[in-house]
Amino acid sequence: ETGVTQTPRHLVMGMTNKKSLKCEQHLGHNAMYWYKQSAKKPLELMFVYSLEERVENNSVPSRFSPECPNSSHLFLHLHTLQPEDSALYLCASSRTGRGDTQYFGPGTRLTVL
């Protein structure tokens, strides 16, 4: 595998479920990101990790919980989501995080029923 991979690609869940999104980067980068892409809204940054430390949390509700066990892996744990959380969730990575080009994964299309 090369680049940034995400699993699953599609996820349907009920509001009471708990699920996790996984991202893996094979680029040797030190920074990883979670973005939310909703219809008719700009791409929104959710979390930034640099060298496995969370360096940014953009006012994201606590029902979204990120985890970065090492510089190659990033998770987004989901629980008690709302229908308005349905969106495409994109993971990205960059070499150092300070303005380096971000490389995006294919995304997970999430539907909350």
- Is residue 69 involved in binding another protein (CB under 8 A)? no
Interaction between residue 27 and another protein (CB under 8 A): no
Binds another protein (CB under 8 A): choice among 30, 34, 68, 107: 107
CB count, 10 Å around CB of 51?
Answer: 13
If the CB atoms of residues 56 and 61 are measured against another protein, the closer one turns out to be 56
> Closest by alpha carbon to 16, among 63, 53, 65?
63
Q: How many residues bind another protein (CB under 8 A)?
A: 25
Indicate whether 105 belongs to the interface with another protein (CB under 8 A): yes
Q: Pick from 50, 78, 85, 112: which binds another protein (CB under 8 A)?
A: 50
CA nearest neighbour of 23 among 3, 42, 37, 43: 3
Return left, alpha or beta for 84; rule: phi > 0 is left, psi -120 to 50 is alpha, else beta.
Answer: alpha
Instruction: Please say whether the beta carbons of 44 and 33 come within 8 A.
Output: no
Q: Does 25 bind another protein (CB under 8 A)?
A: no
Binding site for another protein (CB under 8 A): 4, 31, 33, 40-43, 45, 48, 50, 55-56, 58, 90, 92, 97-99, 101-107
